[in-house]
Chains A and B, each alone.
Chain A
Amino acid sequence: MSALGAIIARDIRLAFRAGGGAAQGVTFFALTGVMFALAVGPDIALISKIAGPVLWTGALLATQISLDQIWRADREDGSLDVLVETSDMLALTALAKAFAHWAATALPLIIATPILGVMLNLPAEAYAPLAISLAIGTPGLSLIGCIAGALVVSLPRAHLLIAIIVSPLYVPILIFGSGAAMSDVGAPQYGANLMLLGATVLFAAILSPLASAAALRSNLD
């Protein structure tokens, strides 16, 4: 247990120190929001209507571009071999890595969401659904992304390949997450979307560690 804690603490520390990607992820997230607004034009009513889905898509893309680093950094400095050789249950290690990735990339995004929400004129009643759906859904993005990162870890560069592999698997999370973000608290769709989102993420929490561990083993032998 303490080993898993150490892995999580180490990954988060690495992400927030110099050379880590945490700040870049938030910057990218903000930029997607800006790009959407620039593309749509200064029609404030339209922007405010699509703000929720735009922020959800931005969070998804910002998570996606950082997936390649989950395992690659460890592979490059050799610590991945140690992780695979020494851990009794590689699947639990993978779960810890996914959690650390979430804490280092998605959590800053959720914290930055209100600022971007103001800029995109997000309706006041939409803040809570957006934040809650992001908080429940983004761990699923990290979990599924963890599998994709493990699959391509032995390849030299794989940003695009990861995006191709992972996007279809992200479809349910995007649909339920964005669906909850766009409905009012208390509306029947809101609860249903959140519950389905939670179920999808829990499902990923079981599938992802096993698949990631299998992929890592296949990549290192």
Chain B
Amino acid sequence: MSSPGDSRRTIARRRETALFLLAVPALLLLGIIFAWPVLRLLAMSVEDGTLANFEKATLDELYLYVLFDSVKIAAMVMAICLVVAYPVAFWLSRAGRWGVALGMFALLLPFWTSVLVRTYAWLVLLGRNGVVNRWLRDAGLIEAPLPLLHNTSGVLIGMVHVLLPYMVFPIYASLLRIDPDLSRAAEGLGAPAWRSFLRVTFPLSLPGVSAGCALVFVLSLGFFITPALLGGGRVIMVSMLIEQQVREFLDWPFAAALSTVLLVATLAIYALIGRITRGARHA
């Protein structure tokens, strides 16, 4: 004896199975080219049967300091990206056809240029005798050149430039999904534009903000060439130390331990970002 509810459930389950089968190729691919190497990496870090590599990666002052510094820089890049990207995404979501075309073009053009080329362009622009400093000096705004390059500010400028599209697009997508009637209704009920934005539009765009923040943060943590060039040697990111171990010293087990620590830190912060934005949405 089967009730109508049962058969509905069976259909639902069948549909679920079918959908799962559709995802199998992608899952297999991810498993082979991502999960398996990550496991191998983990295994390599404890190859010698001890946790010595992890001890060094997590307790040694040098590596701790660099990890902390990398997280700090990634968080700063994420925050700046968010502040810059949100208004852009907001404008794009309300712009006409030509506005969107222009905005997309301006966002995507640098996106298609090699990171190395863009980084060198910043060297030319931000140097002591670079375009920016010369312009500010000619305008009489400064006397001595501003130290824009070869320090943390140079790294931040370069990284924000590279990562901005990763923040704009998720926010733009989530803004597009919001029913425009909602803010119209809020305004119809007497809410001023700023309140309708704060209470209706912004909370509904949080999934995009969360995705953008997570993307930018995770990508920042792995950044390598931009901080190496624009930091003038004074900014060290974990990825640089990993690269040193892999390429120069061939100490792959230690590199694996460092990578694992970075991976765990990334996942932890990723979870934290998700929790914060979810919390904000329910508040």
A binds B: no
Chain A residues engaging chain B, CB cutoff 8 angstroms:
none
